[in-house]
Amino acid sequence: MEKHNFFQNYFVKIKQSLDSINLSQLHKASSLIKNVENSGKKVIIVGNGGSASIASHLTVDFINAAKIKAMNFNDSSIITCFSNDYGYENWVGKALDCYADSGDVAILISSSGQSQNMLVGAKKAKSMNVDVVTLSGFSPDNPLRQLGDINLWVDSKAYNIVEMTHHVWLLAIIDYLIEVNKE
């Protein structure tokens, strides 16, 4: 494959993934987060690997740009303590148990939608009256996609395409909320 064709095809895939979103789902997620802001609650963003990096970026933008309380669980001490004491699959649920409050919103990101720690976290959040927004990809019937109040799904099996699409969709929500708050 020619280099030019690779990049051209890659960007076509990204654009198709970005355009595949059901816009009403973005509006619903934005409304959930706006309600969190209005009620003084917080947004908790969690992911593994590249999705954890997305969680860090979003936390900064929610707090600094959108002025919405937000946090993530990317502190290695929390992850390793809870993983060691409760099992890796349970660490997100335990962190939510310690930090989430009724009325918060948890954004759980898993490219495959198969990450056991995110599945346990989604169930824990629901049991605590925490609204759940999931972001996943790969299979349309992945388990995480079945657990959220709002489920944003990317029709791709390529990690970077899925992660980049999640990142852009979530940043679009933040930019939308910034714009709404100007009014």
pLDDT in tens, 57-111: 999 999 999 999 999 999 999 999 999 999 999 999 999 999 999 999 999 999 9
Q: Which two tokens stand for residue 4?
A: 């030019």
Provide the CATH number for the domain around residue 8: 3.40.50.10490
Number of domains in the chain: 1
Residue 28 phi, psi dihedral angles, 5° rounding: -65, -45
| pLDDT for the residue numbered 66 | 96
CA distance 89 to 78: 14
CA distance 113 to 9: 25
Q: Which two tokens stand for residue 165?
A: 């699409």
CA distance 160 to 138: 12
Non-local (6+) Cβ contacts of 150 within 8 A are 25, 28, 29, 32, 131, 132, 133, 134
Q: Which two tokens stand for residue 95?
A: 């962190």
Which of 63, 67, 58, 59 lies closest to 38 in space, CA to CA? 67
Which of 108, 95, 96, 104 lies closest to 143 in space, CA to CA? 108
For 43-57, the pLDDT digits (tens) are 999 999 999 999 999
- Overall average pLDDT of the 147-171 stretch: 97
User: 35 is in which domain, residue-wise?
Assistant: 3-182
Residue 34 phi, psi dihedral angles, 5° rounding: -60, -40
How many residues in total does the chain contain? 183
pLDDT at 1 > cutoff 80: no
pLDDT at 2 > cutoff 90: no
| pLDDT for the residue numbered 182 | 87
pLDDT at 4 > cutoff 90: no
CA distance 165 to 159: 10
Average pLDDT of the chain to the nearest whole number: 96
Query: Which band of pLDDT confidence, cut at 50, 70 and 90, is reported for residue 3?
Result: confident
Which of 81, 58, 22 lies closest to 177 in space, CA to CA? 58
